[in-house]
Amino acid sequence: MERYSDPGLALFDLATHYVVACPKCAGKAWVKPRGEGQKLVCTICFHTEIPGNWYGSATAYVSVKCRECHEPLQRNAPWNGQWKKLAMHCPQCGDTCEYEAHITRHARHEGLMTDAVYGLPLWLQAEFRGELFWAFHYEHLEILRQYIAAKHRERGITPRNTLKKNSAMLSRLPAFITRAGNRDALLKMIQELFLK
Ligand SMILES: [Zn+2]
Ligand SMILES: [Zn+2]
Domain ranges for the chain: 3-53+110-194, 58-105
Q: pLDDT of 159-173, one tens digit each?
A: 334 334 334 677 778
Q: How far is the C-alpha of 196 from the C-alpha of 180, rounded, in Å?
A: 25
Going through 16-107 in order, the beta strands assigned E by DSSP cover: 18-21, 28-31, 40-42, 48-49, 58-65, 72-78, 85-89, 96-100, 102-105
Range in 28-32, 35-39, 152-156 the model is least confident about: 152-156
- In the chain, how long is the greatest CA-to-CA distance? 72
Q: How far is the CA of 28 from the centre of ligand 1 (A)?
A: 7
Q: Return the pLDDT at 154.
A: 52
C-beta atoms surrounding 119 within 10 Å: 21
Running DSSP on this structure, what letter comes out for residue 67? T
Q: How far is the CA of 26 from the centre of ligand 1 (A)?
A: 6
Q: Return the pLDDT at 7.
A: 55
Q: pLDDT of 96-154, one tens digit each?
A: 999 999 999 999 999 999 999 999 999 999 999 999 999 999 999 998 888 888 755 55
Q: Return the pLDDT at 11.
A: 72
Q: Please provide the average confidence, as pLDDT, over all residues in the chain.
A: 87
Q: How far is the CA of 23 from the centre of ligand 1 (A)?
A: 7
Range in 3-12, 21-30, 113-122, 143-152 the model is least confident about: 3-12
Q: Is the pTM of this model over 0.85?
A: no
Q: Return the pLDDT at 195.
A: 96
Q: How far is the CA of 46 from the centre of ligand 1 (A)?
A: 6
Backbone conformation region of residue 131, classed left if phi is above 0, alpha if psi is from -120 to 50, else beta: beta
Q: Return the pLDDT at 151.
A: 55
Share of the chain above pLDDT 70, in %: 85
Q: Return the pLDDT at 82.
A: 79
DSSP element (H, E) containing 161: helix 159-164
Q: Return the pLDDT at 167.
A: 40
Q: How far is the C-alpha of 107 from the C-alpha of 95, rounded, in Å?
A: 35
**Do residues 79 and 85 lie in contact, with contact meaning Cβ atoms separated by under 8 Å?**
no
**Do residues 140 and 7 lie in contact, with contact meaning Cβ atoms separated by under 8 Å?**
no
- ∠ Cα 44 47 52 (to 5°): 135
**Do residues 74 and 88 lie in contact, with contact meaning Cβ atoms separated by under 8 Å?**
no
Neighbours of ion ligand 2 (CB under 5 A): 66, 68-69, 71, 90, 92-93, 95
Bridge partners, residue 102, by sequence: 61
**Ligand nearest to the backbone CA of 46:** 1
At 50, the pLDDT band (50, 70, 90 cuts) reads very high
Q: How far is the C-alpha of 128 from the C-alpha of 116, rounded, in Å?
A: 23
Q: Return the pLDDT at 146.
A: 86
